[in-house]
Amino acid sequence: MAAGNTIKMEQTQKIMITPGLRQAIMILQFPTVDLNSYLGQQIQENPMLELEEEGDQQEIGMPVAETGSGKDELKFDPEWRDYFHDSSDLGFLEPERDTFQDNSDYENYVRQEFGLTEFLLDQLNIVINNTRQRLIGRYLIGNLDKNGYLQVSVDEAALSLKATCEEVEETLKIIQNFDPPGIGARNLQECLLIQVNQLNIKDELLETVILRHLPELAKGKLSLVAHQLGVNFEDIQDIARFIKTLEPKPGCNYSSGNCVKYIIPDVVIEKAGQNFTINVNDCLNLKINTYYRSIWEKEADSKVRQFLGVKLNAAVWLIRSVEQRRNTLLKIANCLITLQQDFLKYGCEYLKPLNLKQVAKIVGLHESTVSRATSNKYVQTPQGMFPMRTFFSAGLSSGGDKETSAAAIKESLRKLVARENPVKPFNDQEIADIFAERGIKISRRTIAKYRGEIGIPPARQRIRY
């Protein structure tokens, strides 16, 4: 059979992601802070959008034309009329006239963050008057990491600044006397020794332990250190207690200057009597710009009308996408309240096993939609603030058909270790046996895994004498 080209018609079905659908998916994934930033950008790009602020009133003399009935209106698939006549569809309330509200709030004033670098530079300017030495000091301070450790060697700094190693070393010694204690160290041993010297403590045994035996001390091998140094076990025990009072990361308590200190919850769940209320943290309230809408309704120029029509469709779609995000979060939060009542009332130990598929089935959404809606979101609850994914936890058998969530087991493990005898702490097998007595079957290896995830060291490191 000879090969050749043929033309034929074929009908197929494909899933196409339109720009509007892609935007709706993106909005669903955004946390509140990122969503506000995105909406602010859209307001700048789309003249049909404007920010609705509390206390907004219609300007006197602003042209508002009645909606006509023309063929052009049929081109707008979204029912945009609903958003013009009654803004309550979006959860907005008509502001009362002749009202005045003082929105003065000290939190609205922006201030520059004062971080570790600025703190050290202020001390440098006070202590050092020499211009060359001050330049070296700025270079060294600029090469400190977030924990306060120097990330360049003295030789590298001298080469970069065309200075001598003695000049760099001298300036570094001055910086190491700055506050916080231990700043400017090149390793953990030097950091601890700087703090010891600032406390005017002269103890050769302490310095020896810091310089040579910190790894053994971290592993709880106090007896081995005492044997190697030929001293009493009680002396090493006292030194270990003292070292724990020192700060291994002196710079971590200072802001880096651009770090985020606060988390804005996307959903707030509050207790009201025996029930719970849900409040979705509202983002920027958007509305259609009445001035440009009136221009679109009256404009005779087809190009101008077409341009404004495209912007109008985009604006309505954006408003509907934001409202759909809000409704989706409300549905999911309401479902979580129903399924996790005990957690909201009593704490993490009562968190039940739950997965995305279960919630998706209850709220009537696809599992991927629930996943997007809960990612990077935070919930403020009566028990504190948690990532939304905290409500979803795998389960372990606890006898019969009952299951206990992994998060609940971790919380029980944390409380169990906090109440243990420090002289004889529980090992992993003993903890597994205690859970078995409670009806929770869990292996020693799983205990070790959970213990590592919540930052609890093994028994030999938790022992206290």
Would 4 be classed as within a structural domain?
no
CATH code of 426's domain: 1.10.10.60
Question: Could you list the residue range(s) of the whole structural domain that residue 440 is in?
Answer: 395-462
Of 381 and 69, the structure prediction assigns the larger pLDDT to 381
Residue 59 in this model has a pLDDT that exceeds 50: no
Give the C-alpha separation, 405 to 394, whole Å: 5
Would 51 be classed as within a structural domain?
no
pLDDT of residue 354: 85
Closest CA to 225 of 61, 217, 1: 217
For CA atoms 222, 226, 229, 232, the dihedral sign is positive
Domain count, the chain: 2
pLDDT of residue 332: 92
Give the C-alpha separation, 261 to 150, whole Å: 25
pLDDT of residue 58: 39
Would 71 be classed as within a structural domain?
no
> 35-39, 91-95, 134-138: which range is least confident on average?
91-95
Q: Which residues contact 374 (CB under 8 A, 6 or more apart)?
A: 332, 356, 388, 389, 391, 392
Last residue of a domain, one of 228, 243, 258: 243
Would 272 be classed as within a structural domain?
no
Give the C-alpha separation, 181 to 195, whole Å: 5
Q: What is the DSSP string of 403-416?
A: EEEHHHHHHHHHHH
With bands split at pLDDT 50, 70 and 90, how would you rate the model's confidence at 261?
A: low
Give the C-alpha separation, 231 to 434, whole Å: 38
**Residue-wise pLDDT tens digits, 171-206:** 999 999 998 899 999 999 999 999 999 998 888 899
pLDDT of residue 190: 92
Q: How far is CA 441 from CA 128, 350, 403, 453, 460, in A?
A: 64, 17, 10, 19, 24
**Residue-wise pLDDT tens digits, 387-397:** 888 888 776 66
For 286-325, letters b (16+ CB in 10 Å) and e give: bbbbbebbebbbebeeeeebeebbebbbbbbbbbbbbeeb
Question: In this structure, how many other beta carbons lie within 10 angstroms of the beta carbon of residue 74?
Answer: 8
For 77-114, letters b (16+ CB in 10 Å) and e give: ebebeebeeebeebebeeeeeeeeeeeeeeeeeeeeee
How many CA atoms lie less than 13 Å away from 121 in the CB half-sphere?
A: 12
Last residue of a domain, one of 200, 216, 243: 243
**Residue-wise pLDDT tens digits, 159-170:** 988 889 999 999
**Residue-wise pLDDT tens digits, 223-236:** 888 888 888 888 88
**Residue-wise pLDDT tens digits, 329-353:** 999 999 989 888 888 888 887 888 8
pLDDT of residue 352: 84
**Residue-wise pLDDT tens digits, 389-418:** 888 877 666 555 567 777 888 888 888 888
Contact 407, 393 (CB under 8 A): yes
Q: Indicate the SS3 state at residue 103.
A: coil
pLDDT of residue 251: 86
Residue 281 in this model has a pLDDT that exceeds 60: yes
Give Cα 459 to chain centroid, integer Å. Answer: 31
Would 384 be classed as within a structural domain?
no
pLDDT of residue 191: 92
Residue 69 in this model has a pLDDT that exceeds 50: no
Residue 150 in this model has a pLDDT that exceeds 80: yes
Would 212 be classed as within a structural domain?
yes
Residue 439 in this model has a pLDDT that exceeds 70: yes
Cis peptide before 180 (omega within 30 of 0): yes
Would 317 be classed as within a structural domain?
no
**Of 41-55, 75-89, 358-372, 396-410, where does the model show the most confidence?**
358-372
Would 153 be classed as within a structural domain?
yes
Give the C-alpha separation, 445 to 82, whole Å: 59
Q: Would you tell me the crossing angle of helices 165-175 and 116-127 to the nearest 10 degrees?
A: 110
- Give me 336's structure tokens: 């979580």
pLDDT of residue 260: 52
CATH code of 179's domain: 1.10.10.1330
pLDDT of residue 149: 92
- Amino acid type, 82: D
Residue 328 in this model has a pLDDT that exceeds 60: yes
**Residue-wise pLDDT tens digits, 80-132:** 444 433 333 333 333 333 433 444 444 444 455 568 888 888 888 888 888 88
Lateral strand order in the sheet of 275-280: 275-280, 267-272, 378-381, 384-387
- Give me 250's structure tokens: 């002196």
Last residue of a domain, one of 190, 220, 243: 243
Task: Say which residue the tokens 């029980």 belong to.
Answer: 412
With bands split at pLDDT 50, 70 and 90, how would you rate the model's confidence at 258?
A: low
